[in-house]
Amino acid sequence: MQQALREARKAYKAEEVPIGAVVVKDQRIIARAWNQVETLKDATAHAEMLALTAAQNATGDWRLEGCTVYVTKEPCPMCAGALVHCRPDRVVFGLPDPAGGAAGGWINLLDSNPPLNHRCETAHGICEDECRVILQTFFREARARKKQQKLEARIRAEMEKEAAEEAAKGEE
Ligand SMILES: [Zn+2]
């Protein structure tokens, strides 16, 4: 999970929602990825999706049997669906997401066989605090940045208005 957090920090530095994932097989990391939705302008570029593709490239097989996927936050429905398709043995996530998580938080697509044709063993709570704090910090900073930009825009607009008024006075 520390390695997944390292990926999350890369996302943070790139001003992406800081979520990271790694895929482990035979005690070895075979794929690592961070959320790149903004970078790639692709709403499907969640850390898990990119890590799954990288793991499949690394093994030359779409079936990730014997693999464990570590991700800092509970997978969303899209990622959970993709995980089931790729069939890793286990999915371990840090921070649960009771509102939108699809590994038991809101729904559980990883443990829905049948009707889905694979079941991933899950575990969570690993480094949960670190996984939470990096997200909280990111969103707090993003909110502060937005507030700052709004204020700056207001000040600029005021100054432009005043300059226009001055110019109009000058013409009188
Ligand atoms: Zn996702």
pTM over 0.75: yes
Q: What is the pLDDT of residues 6-26, one digit of tens each?
A: 999 999 999 999 999 999 999
Distance from residue 22's CA to the centre of ligand 1 (Å): 14
Cis peptide before 75 (omega within 30 of 0): no
Q: Could you read off the pLDDT of 50-66 as tens digits, one per residue?
A: 999 999 999 999 999 99
Ion ligand 1 neighbours, Cβ < 5 Å = 46, 76, 78-79
- Report, as residue numbers or ranges, the catalytic residues: 48
Q: How far is the CA of 71 from the centre of ligand 1 (A)?
A: 10
The annotated binding site for Zn(2+) is made up of 46, 76, 79
Ligand 1 centroid distance, CA of 31 (Å) = 16
Cβ atoms of 37 and 45 within 8 Å: the answer is yes
